[in-house]
Amino acid sequence: MRRAGKLLVFTRSTNRLSDCSSGECRLKTAIIIDRRRLVALAATFALAPTVSHPTFAQAWPTRPVRVVVPYAPGGSTDTVARITADRLVTFASPGVGTVPHLAGELFKQITGIEMTHVPYRGDAPALADTMAGRVDLQIGGSAMLEQIRSGQVRGLAVTTAKRSQLAPELPTVAEAGVPDFDVTGWFAFFVPARTSREIVEKIHIDTVTALSDPTVKAKLENVGMVAIGSTPEELAVLLKAETEKWSAVIKEANIALD
């Protein structure tokens, strides 16, 4: 008894990644990455900043420096911080703990490329700053497919294991050079643990029937989602696997919700 999933997007001013979703009654989340961009990101960390006044010169840290700005994105403090920290590679997401955020952390852990996460309250403000060049790239939601299709941004890759049927021209992250990278965003229906089997089966049948309706499928595809029905047992297996996978990523990245 599952639902639909969504897309993710990496963006950098005019370049962005849009995610695609698909899965069993879930929509797979996709992320976009540019191989040349990855090379550029790696090269960024090979550069050392210059110091205007030798009197204050000191050894630059051997690891990337994280700048924390305790104010909302877009304000004067945020802008100044971004300008002065221009040697840091930043990636925007719709918020701490979201699938795009976790996908970015997983990407960092697999590739060893250091990026600074810049969380926003949704895709829209993150997209605005990405297009304005205030962040280097964005990992966002399926809504970004509209901007990709209109030519406002350029999709580079999807995070799912296979190419998305909604954007088949986009390669997967694995095809772009990061083997075994697979991130899927999904939705599901849950009920209290003590709910009777009969009610669970009824909800499951009704959900699968709805997701099989051509009109429903078309509406979901318009917002970047692909619905594939699954059983409650299959959802349980997925949930267990996802919990184990992301628990490890969250622990290594030291992610904590406020």
| pLDDT given for residue 43 in this prediction | 36
Enter the tokens of residue 5. 């999933």
Can you tell me the mean pLDDT for 43-72? 47
Average pLDDT over residues 133-154: 80
Summarize the confidence of residues 37-66 as an average pLDDT: 41
The whole-number average pLDDT for the span 77-99 is: 77
- Whether the per-residue pLDDT at 85 is higher than 60: the answer is no
Rounded to an integer, the average pLDDT of 124-148 is: 82
More confident residue, 160 or 73: 160
- φ/ψ of residue 76, rounded to 5: -65, -40
The CA distance from 118 to 34, in Å, is: 19
Q: Among 1-5, 108-112, 127-131, 246-250, whose mean pLDDT is lowest?
A: 1-5
Residue 46's Cβ-count burial label (10 Å; 0-12, 13-18, 19+) is: exposed
List Cα–Cα distances, 119 to 96, 114, 124, in angstroms.
6, 16, 12
Determine the average pLDDT of the residues in 84-88.
Answer: 60
Tokens of 234: 């299959």
Residue 31: its pLDDT value, please?
41
Domain ranges across the chain: 11-43+70-253
List strand residue ranges (DSSP E) for the chain, in order.
11-12, 15-16, 90-93, 116-119, 137-138
Which of 7-21, 102-116, 164-178 bottoms out in mean pLDDT, i.e. has the lowest? 7-21
Lookup result for tokens 């639909």: 4
> For 150-175, what is the mean pLDDT?
86
pTM of the model: 0.68
The predicted pLDDT at position 30 comes to 38
What is the per-residue pLDDT for 82? 63
Q: Helix or strand or coil: residue 158?
A: strand
Fold of 11-43+70-253: D-Maltodextrin-Binding Protein; domain 2 (3.40.190)
Residue with tokens 């976790």: 102
The number of CA neighbours under 13 Å toward the Cβ of 226 is 18
- pLDDT in the model for residue 167: 86
What mean pLDDT, rounded, does the chain reach?
A: 75
Half-sphere exposure of 39 (CA within 13 A, CB side): 4
Instruction: Compute the distance between CA of residue 224 and CA of residue 4 in angstroms, rounded to an integer.
Output: 10
Identify the pLDDT of residue 222.
82
Work out the pLDDT band at 113, boundaries 50, 70, 90.
confident
Strand pairing category for 116-119 and 90-93:
parallel
Residues 252, 109 contacting (CB under 8 angstroms): yes
With a cut of 60, say whether residue 64 has pLDDT above it: no
Give per-residue pLDDT as tens, 197-250: 999 999 999 999 999 999 999 999 888 888 888 999 999 999 999 999 999 999
Find the mean pLDDT for residues 174-181: 90
